[in-house]
Amino acid sequence: MNAIELQEVTKRFGRTTALDGLSMQVATGEVHGFLGPNGSGKSTTIRVLLGLLRADSGTARLLGGDPWSDAPALHRRLAYVPGDVALWPNLTGGEVIDLLGRLRGGTDPARRAALLERFDLDPTKKGTTYSKGNRQKVGLVAALASDVELLLLDEPTSGLDPLMEAQFRAVISEERGRGRTVLLSSHILSEVEHLCDRVSIIRSGQVVESGTLAELRHLTRTLVVAELAAPVPEGLATAPGVHDAELDGHRITCQVDDTELGQVMSRLSALGIRSITSTPPTLEELFLRHYDESGR
Partner 1 sequence: MTGLGSLVRLALRRSRWFYLAWVLALTSVVPLTAAAYEQIVDPGNADLLIATMTNNPTMRAMLGPPVDLTSAGGFTVWRVGTFVAAMSGIMAVLGVVRSTRAEEEDGRTELLRSGATGRHAPLVAGVLVTLLACAALGVAVAASMTAVGEPVAGSVAFGAGLALVGATFAGVGAVAAQLTASARTAKALGLWTSPRHTP
Distance, CA of 17 to CA of 27 (rounded, Å): 27
Q: Per rule CB under 8 A, is residue 130 in the interface with partner 1?
A: no
Contact 69, 222 (CB under 8 A): no
- Of 54 and 243, CB closest to partner 1: 54
257 φψ region: left (φ > 0), alpha (ψ -120 to 50), beta (else): beta
Q: Per rule CB under 8 A, is residue 240 in the interface with partner 1?
A: no
Q: Per rule CB under 8 A, is residue 86 in the interface with partner 1?
A: yes
Q: Which of 13, 39, 99, 249 binds partner 1 (CB under 8 A)?
A: 99
- Of 88 and 233, CB closest to partner 1: 88
State the pairing for strand pair 206-212/2-13.
unpaired
- Of 51 and 281, CB closest to partner 1: 51
Report, in Å, the least distance between residue 80 CB and partner 1. Answer: 4
Q: Which of 225, 227, 224 is nearest to 273 (CA)?
A: 227
Distance, CA of 247 to CA of 249 (rounded, Å): 6
37 φψ region: left (φ > 0), alpha (ψ -120 to 50), beta (else): beta
Among the residue ranges 96-104, 182-190, 244-252, 262-270, the one whose residues contact partner 1 (CB under 8 A): 96-104
- Of 135 and 221, CB closest to partner 1: 135
Report, in Å, the least distance between residue 52 CB and partner 1. Answer: 6
State the pairing for strand pair 181-186/221-228.
unpaired
Burial code of 242-271, b = ≥16 C-beta within 10 A, e = fewer?
Answer: beebeeeeeebebbbbbebeeebbeebeeb
Distance, CA of 123 to CA of 280 (rounded, Å): 42
- Of 70 and 193, CB closest to partner 1: 70
Report, in Å, the least distance between residue 138 CB and partner 1. Answer: 10
Q: Which of 104, 137, 198, 221 binds partner 1 (CB under 8 A)?
A: 104
Q: Per rule CB under 8 A, is residue 156 in the interface with partner 1?
A: no
Interface ranges with partner 1 (CB under 8 A): 47, 50-52, 71-73, 75-76, 78-80, 82, 84-88, 90-91, 99-100, 102-105, 139, 152
